[in-house]
C-alpha cells in the first residue's frame, strides 16, 4: 500500500476516436491499469476508458488526448487516487520523471483557477465582509481583526490566475480574473465606504477615532519596498501551494499580504476625507496585487521550464541503454 498520489484518468470518447484513444493508452508505459467499457458512453456515443497513471505523467497524456480532439465531443476527467496497492503502479511511478509531489497538473490547476476566479455572489459577499472587518480592525486598531480580514478575503486565487493565464496563454482566464478583481474591490470598497459615511453622519464612529494614531495598523497605508518584497514572497508561496499535490501553505499567504486591509482603509479614509491614507492604502493595494501576480507568473514559468527539463532528462536516461545496444 502506497501513499504516493496517482491519478485515475476517465475518458468518454466518441466511437470514431476510440481506436486512437485505445492505442494511445496501450502504448504508454506509464499506464499501470486500463479498463475499456465498450459502448458504455451514451453522450457522446462511444466508449469509456479508465486508466491509472502517475501524477507526473498527466500533462503529456492530456496533451495527447487533446491533440486527438477528444475534448471537443467527449470528456477527459482526472481524479486523484490517494492510496493504492499495485506492483505495476509502483513500476509506472518509478518510470515517470520527477516526484509526484512536485508535479504540476496544468489541467487541474487551470480548472481551479477558472472556477475560483469567477465573479459570483459568494465571492462578492466574502469581499464585502472581509473589507468591512478590515475597516472595523482599523478603527479599533486590532491586529487580530486585521488577520481575520486577511484570512476571510477570497482574492488570492484570482490574483494567482493572472500569472497562470500569462504562462499558459489563456486570455479568457486573464480577462475573467481581472474583471473579478476590479469589480470585487470596487463593490466592496464602495459599500463599506457608504457604511462608514453613515457611521460618520450618525456619529457612531467619531472622526477622532478614525484619525487618531494607530500603531498596530498604520502599516496599511505606509507602503514601502518591504510591502513589495512580502507580496512577492507570498505570491510565490501561494502559487506553490496551489500547484502542489499536497499544499497547505495558503493560510500563511493570506495573513501576510495587505490587500483586504488596504481596501478597508481606502473605504474608511474616503468616508472621512483622510486623503493621505487613501493614497497610501491605494499604493499598498496596487503593490501587493502587482507583486503577487508577478511572483505567481515567474513561479509558474519556472515550474513549467524545470518540469520540462526533468522530463527530457528522464527520457534521455531511459533511452541510453537502447542507444548502447
Strand partners, 81: 6
> What is the predicted pLDDT for the residue at 213?
75
Give pLDDT, residue 207. Answer: 64
Q: Which three cell numbers stand for residue 318?
A: 531511459
pLDDT digits (tens, 9 = 90+) for 152-183: 899 988 998 998 999 988 999 999 999 999 99
Per-residue model confidence (pLDDT) at position 247: 53
Q: How far apart are CA 257 and CA 293, in angstroms?
A: 12
| Cell numbers linked to 233 | 514572497
Q: How far apart are CA 157 and CA 159, in angstroms?
A: 5
pLDDT number for residue 42: 93
Measured from the Cβ of residue 158, the count of other Cβ atoms closer than 10 Å reads 25
Q: How many CA atoms lie within 13 A of 204 on its CB side?
A: 8
Q: pLDDT tens-digit profile of 232-281?
A: 988 888 888 777 755 555 555 666 678 999 999 999 999 988 999 999 99
Q: Name the strands in the sheet holding 46-54, side by side, starting at the edge strand that comes first in the sequence.
A: 33-41, 46-54, 6-14, 75-81
pLDDT score at 216: 80
Q: Is there a cis peptide before residue 35, judged by omega within 30 degrees of 0?
A: no
Instruction: Output the pLDDT for position 224.
Output: 86
Q: What's the confidence (pLDDT) of residue 88? A: 74
What is the pLDDT at residue 102?
61
Q: If DSSP codes are grouped into helix, strand and coil, which group holds residue 193?
A: helix
> What percentage of the chain has pLDDT greater than the value 90?
47
Residue 275 CB contacts under 8 Å (≥ 6 apart), including other chains:
269
Q: In this predicted structure, what is the pLDDT of residue 82?
A: 74
CA distance 248 to 51: 28
Ranges in the chain, pLDDT < 50: 1-3, 318-320, 322-325
Task: List the domains of the chain with CATH numbers.
Answer: 6-99 (3.30.70.120), 110-308 (1.20.1080)
Amino acid at each position: 500500500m502506497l501513499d504516493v498520489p496517482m491519478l485515475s484518468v476517465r475518458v468518454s470518447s466518441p466511437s470514431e476516436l476510440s481506436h486512437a484513444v485505445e492505442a494511445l493508452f496501450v502504448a504508454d508505459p506509464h499506464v499501470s491499469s486500463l479498463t475499456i467499457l465498450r459502448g458504455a458512453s451514451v453522450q457522446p456515443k462511444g466508449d469509456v476508458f479508465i486508466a491509472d497513471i502517475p501524477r507526473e505523467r498527466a500533462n503529456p497524456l492530456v496533451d495527447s488526448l487533446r491533440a486527438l480532439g477528444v475534448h471537443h465531443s467527449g470528456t477527459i476527467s482526472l481524479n486523484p487516487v490517494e492510496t493504492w496497492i499495485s506492483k505495476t503502479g509502483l513500476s509506472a511511478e518509478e518510470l515517470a520523471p520527477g516526484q509526484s509531489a512536485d508535479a504540476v497538473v496544468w489541467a487541474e490547476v487551470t480548472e481551479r483557477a477558472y472556477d475560483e476566479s469567477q465573479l459570483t455572489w459568494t465571492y462578492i459577499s466574502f469581499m464585502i465582509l472581509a473589507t468591512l472587518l478590515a475597516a472595523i480592525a482599523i478603527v479599533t486598531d486590532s491586529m487580530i481583526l486585521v488577520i481575520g480580514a486577511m484570512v476571510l478575503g477570497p482574492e488570492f486565487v484570482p490574483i494567482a490566475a493572472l500569472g497562470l493565464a500569462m504562462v499558459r496563454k489563456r486570455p479568457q482566464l486573464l480577462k475573467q480574473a481581472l474583471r473579478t478583481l476590479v469589480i470585487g474591490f470596487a463593490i466592496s470598497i464602495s459599500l463599506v465606504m457608504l457604511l462608514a459615511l453613515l457611521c460618520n453622519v450618525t456619529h457612531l464612529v467619531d472622526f477622532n477615532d478614525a484619525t487618531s494614531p494607530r500603531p498596530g495598523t498604520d502599516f496599511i497605508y505606509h507602503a514601502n519596498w518591504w510591502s513589495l518584497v512580502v507580496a512577492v514572497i507570498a505570491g510565490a508561496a501561494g502559487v506553490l501551494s496551489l500547484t502542489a499535490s499536497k499544499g497547505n501553505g495558503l493560510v500563511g499567504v493570506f495573513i501576510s499580504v495587505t490587500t483586504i486591509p488596504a481596501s478597508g482603509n481606502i473605504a474608511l479614509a474616503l468616508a472621512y476625507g483622510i486623503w493621505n491614507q487613501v493614497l497610501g492604502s491605494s499604493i499598498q493595494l496596487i503593490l501587493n496585487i502587482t507583486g503577487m501576480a508577478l511572483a505567481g507568473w515567474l513561479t509558474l514559468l519556472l515550474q513549467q521550464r524545470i518540469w520540462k527539463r526533468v522530463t527530457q532528462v528522464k527520457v534521455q536516461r531511459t533511452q541510453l541503454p537502447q542507444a548502447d545496444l
